[in-house]
Amino acid sequence: MNTNQSPEDLAARIAELDRENSELKRMLNTNPDTGLPIRRVGEQRLRDILQDPPAVVGVLLLRLDGDYERIRGTRDAGRALLVKTILRLRRVLGEHIFQSDRQDEFLCLLTSAERGDSFRATLNAAIQAVAQPHEPPAEDVAFGCRIGVSISDSLGLSAEELLWQAALSLNEAVRGNQPLLYYSHELGARTRARHELEEDLRRQLRSGFDNFYVVYQPIVAEDGVIVGGEVLARWRHPERGLIPPDVFIPMAEANGLIRHIGQWTLYQAVRGLQRLRELGFTGYFSVNISPVQFHQVDMVSRVQKILDGSGLPGESLQLELTEGALLQNTESVVSKVAALRKLKIRFAIDDFGTGYSSLKYLQNFPVDVIKIDKSFVLGISDHPSRREILRTILFMAHSLGVKAMAEGVETPRERDALLAEQCDTMQGYYFSPPVDIGRFSQFISSGGRLPS
């Protein structure tokens, strides 16, 4: 130690160390990209507020939406836009804004001396502020935000609970494409139930598809002869009973499990067909393919392996894709469709008419069949305008060399109307609901014609 230092030197040195210390602390507590205090600081602020709370405290998590993610990677101006957005938020929300764990997410604290929902107008103003157009050269850039909110009430929730609720609400807002979502007990319970079901799905798939099975819905030609069938997956939950596909399929798409379900369904399709072939059935099975499954890089070889292993000809499989799936990642979709069609596998566009529905891209995608959605079939026998739409779709499909099939045929009059309009094949309760392979076999062995 330097013993020559005077008391004045020592005091100056200590002051300098203090300054460095607080500078260091400030830096550690500040996000270098945005200059905002970090989340931990916000959490401490919330704890402090809750020590002596005003009437209401609002905890919000705000995340810039999908468009921002894109801009950030492609533009130098990404950071400048981020900082400008924070300035806009400051004007509306005040100073209590903190950087959350992600660059595009902020924690904000609001307080009010009044009970009740006094924040809604402020939150709507924040949403508006983020969505305002930007100045040149970013005038073509547009992004919005999602907000999840939790409000402290008289229950005396802790900071941790409030933050957890806000995070849950934000997740649900993002999932449900909603700009603003308040936490509620109902929302919490619904989310928990969904997570449990998702966990069950994962576990039951892992334990060998125990509670899963498939059903097959016959597809008939004009004369009622069964030419094929659609394979549909079913999940019978041991406690909750049958879970509707429109619940578990979207869930499996979101978490990627649909790849396994889809692969398994393909196996069930060829296994079912092998049984039916022994009865002399020469038709095809049509399998729904989710975009997530179709976009796997090795999709083509997976299908090829199943087909090779079965000894069945390619014509015995048809794959159903929705319009949405065809529009994503067009180039790789086109090459996969082409490779699979080389194996003689056929393609159908499912739910035709409900999506983007541009008959134009039928030219880009060499599909074999369009499956006209059941909403277009419903009531065609009684509504001339619906029949006119159907006629137009059929005419355009046929002039492009594409076959047309109608889904959801429920009555003989609908069938007659479809036949009068030259529809090629049909499917629906009028002919048969989806059935197990035993029942399907009976249809084949008793003449293969429906309705029986």
Residues 152 and 158: their CA atoms lie apart, in Å, by 9
Residues 320 and 370: their CA atoms lie apart, in Å, by 9
Any contact of residue 43 with Mn ion (CB under 5 A)? no
Residue 57 or 289: which CB sits closer to ligand G?
289
Any contact of residue 444 with ligand G (CB under 6 A)? no
Q: Is the link from the previous residue into 451 a cis peptide, with omega within 30 of 0? A: yes
Binding span for Mn ion by CB under 5 A among 66-74, 207-215, 328-336, 343-351: 343-351
| DSSP 8-class letter at 95 | S
Residue 114 or 246: which CB sits closer to ligand G?
246
Q: Is 319 helix (H, G, I), strand (E, B) or coil?
A: strand
Binding span for ligand G by CB under 6 A among 64-72, 119-127, 156-164, 256-264: 256-264
332-391 positions binding ligand G, by CB under 6 A: 350-351, 374
Any contact of residue 105 with Mn ion (CB under 5 A)? no
CB of 425 to Mn ion, least distance (A): 13
Contacts of 286 (CB under 8 A, 6+ apart): 219, 228, 229, 230, 231, 317, 318, 319, 320, 348
Residue 100 or 268: which CB sits closer to ligand G?
268
Query: Which among ligand G, Mn ion, none contacts residue 290 (Cβ within 5 to 8 A by kind)?
Result: ligand G
Q: Residues 182, 151: contact at Cβ < 8 Å?
A: yes
Residue 37 or 229: which CB sits closer to Mn ion?
229
Any contact of residue 323 with ligand G (CB under 6 A)? no
| DSSP 8-class letter at 135 | P
Among 43, 65, 200, 320, binds Mn ion (CB under 5 A): 320
Query: Which among Mn ion, ligand G, none contacts residue 125 (Cβ within 5 to 8 A by kind)?
Result: none
276-305 positions binding Mn ion, by CB under 5 A: 288
Note the Cα 136 to chain centre separation in Å.
34
Binding string to ligand G for residues 275 to 304, with x set by CB under 6 A, is what?
A: -------------xxx--------------
Give the number of residues in contact with ligand G, rule: CB under 6 A. 23
393-432 positions binding ligand G, by CB under 6 A: 407-410, 428-429
Q: Is 399 helix (H, G, I), strand (E, B) or coil?
A: helix
> Cα-Cα-Cα-Cα dihedral of 398, 403, 408, 413, to 10°?
50
Taking the alpha carbons at both ends of the chain, their separation in whole angstroms is: 103
Among 99, 165, 169, 217, binds ligand G (CB under 6 A): 217
| Burial degree of 223 (CB within 10 A; 0-12, 13-18, 19+) | exposed
Binding span for ligand G by CB under 6 A among 152-160, 184-192, 241-249, 444-452: 241-249
- What beta strand segments (E) does 117-256 contain? 145-151, 180-182, 212-221, 226-237, 241-243
Any contact of residue 450 with ligand G (CB under 6 A)? no
Contacts of 49 (CB under 8 A, 6+ apart): 57, 109, 111
Residue 64 or 289: which CB sits closer to ligand G?
289
CB of 414 to ligand G, least distance (A): 9
Q: Is 284 helix (H, G, I), strand (E, B) or coil?
A: strand
Binding string to Mn ion for residues 234 to 273, with x set by CB under 5 A, is what?
A: ----------------------------------------
Binding span for Mn ion by CB under 5 A among 94-102, 123-131, 346-354, 357-365: 346-354
Residues 183 and 150: their CA atoms lie apart, in Å, by 5
Closest by CA to 147, choosing from 83, 95, 97, 190, is 97
Where along the sequence are the contacts to ligand G (CB under 6 A)?
Answer: 217, 232-233, 245-246, 249, 258, 261-262, 265, 288-290, 350-351, 374, 407-410, 428-429, 434
Where along the sequence are the contacts to Mn ion (CB under 5 A)?
Answer: 288, 320, 350
